[in-house]
A = this chain, B = another copy of it.
Amino acid sequence: MCFAVTIFESREDIRCAKVVKGRSINLALSHRGRQALKHIGIEEKIVSMGIPMHARMIHSLNGKQSPIPYGKKGQYILSVDRANLNKELLSVAEAYPNTKLNFNHKLLDWSPETGAMTFHGPDGNEKEFHADLIVGCDGAFSATRKQFLRRSRFNYSQTYIPHGYLELTIPPRNGDFAMKPNFLHIWPRHTFMMIALPNLDKTFTCTLFMPFEDFEKITTGNELLGFFQKNFPDSIPLIGVDALMRDFFRLPAQALVWVTCSPYHVLDSCVLMGDAAHAMVPFYGQGMNAGFEDCIVFNEIMDQFNEDFGTSVSMRSHVNSRYFLFRKFLDNTLHFVMPKTIIPLYTMITFTRTRYRQAVIQWQWQNKVK
């Protein structure tokens, strides 16, 4: 069956944009996400533009670096550029003759009963559109989800962790990466940590995760320098003192939110996917991968039920509790910083499509019998 698909995006077409806004530029692509890309024929292309990370590289206070592999030999995750990935996905979508893209359309409201949506269009006017099925893939602060919240018996939770994040850059050194590129570099420091992921242009993007109250203590350049000298001394020459001073104070630390909800659908007219349904904190690198896997799962269910929307949408909602359990398990801890204890679980999550729930159960069992 061939569906007429219309995509509405609130931002401009990033393929033409001069400045790309948005969150972190790095994403960690793993097995679940790659499987979805394979379905639409761009796995190889995206992988070729990604940088394999075979291990974590733990930076001690004294500057010593110790690798901890992600899985077995040959298993790796990929550092991919968010903007590039978005651009490729838009081009793939646009190539389908039955798909139409609309940019600069901001969803104002929609009706579960009629499937009518109202957008604020690029010309400043309101615009109506009707769909048999609305798929809300509009992120952690989903506009689609607002309509869900107005209905009875919709369970919803948004939880901000005490940590904020802030991005810094390590430029190339002598035209090459300033650190070993095929690693996810981590500076674990108890209640806070910094990570760095490699980019194709031989820079690294560093992300500092720290409780907001600690960010608030750093208000001057001297305090900042003191903090980095004490906690991340080896990173200072890599980032550069001037760049550190400039970039740290450019933007306030950004918040990190968990979102869970249930059900994911309203009637048979709308279903939520990705961060709109289950936004996660980034420490497990699962946000994008889980969102992409949603697409595979929905596809599988649509095949199974002969592309009947009603049945597929409600079946789709039955496979959801696993995210909730996964979230409960991870909760607000920074699992990244304790890689040794979580490698078996991490391997299942990252290198297989084992259901999140099953992975957690299996891992708990392994820990018990040890």
Interface residues in chain A, defined as those with a beta carbon under 8 Å from any beta carbon in chain B = 149, 152-160, 212, 255
Contacts and interface: CB of A to CB of B under 8 A. Distances in A.
Contact of A157 (B152, B159, B255): B159
Contacts of A160: 152-155
A156 B156 contact: yes
A210 to B, nearest CB: 15
A166 to B, nearest CB: 15
Nearest to A260: B157
Nearest to A256: B153
Given A153-B255, A154-B158, 8 more contacts: A149-B158, A154-B160, A155-B158, A156-B156, A156-B157, A157-B157, A157-B158, A157-B159
Contact of A156 (B153, B158, B255): B158
Complex copy number for this chain: 2
Q: In terms of DSSP, what is the predominant structure of the interface of chain A?
A: strand
A153 B157 CA distance: 12
A197 to B, nearest CB: 24
A255 B152 CA distance: 7
A328 to B, nearest CB: 12
A149 B143 CA distance: 12
A152 B152 CA distance: 24
Contacts of A159: 155, 157
7 contacts: A149-B158, A152-B255, A153-B160, A153-B255, A155-B159, A155-B160, A157-B158
Contacts of A157: 156-159
A125 B336 CA distance: 55
Contacts of A255: 152-153
A158 B155 CA distance: 6
A156 B145 CA distance: 14
A321 to B, nearest CB: 13
A158 B149 CA distance: 9
A158 B145 CA distance: 14
Nearest to A150: B141
A144 to B, nearest CB: 15
Contacts of A158: 149, 154-157
A18 to B, nearest CB: 27
A97 to B, nearest CB: 39
A153 B158 CA distance: 9
A212 B152 CA distance: 13
A159 B158 CA distance: 12
A160 B212 CA distance: 32
A159 B261 CA distance: 9
Contacts of A212: 153
A121 B54 CA distance: 64
Contacts of A149: 158
A255 B153 CA distance: 7
Nearest to A146: B149
Nearest to A258: B155
A154 B155 CA distance: 17
The 5 closest A-B pairs by CB, nearest first: A157-B157, A153-B160, A152-B255, A155-B159, A153-B255
Contacts of A154: 158, 160
A255 B155 CA distance: 12
- The interface centre, meaning the residue of A149, A153, A212 with most chain B CB atoms within 10 A of its CB, is A153
A155 B156 CA distance: 11
A238 B153 CA distance: 32
A154 B141 CA distance: 12
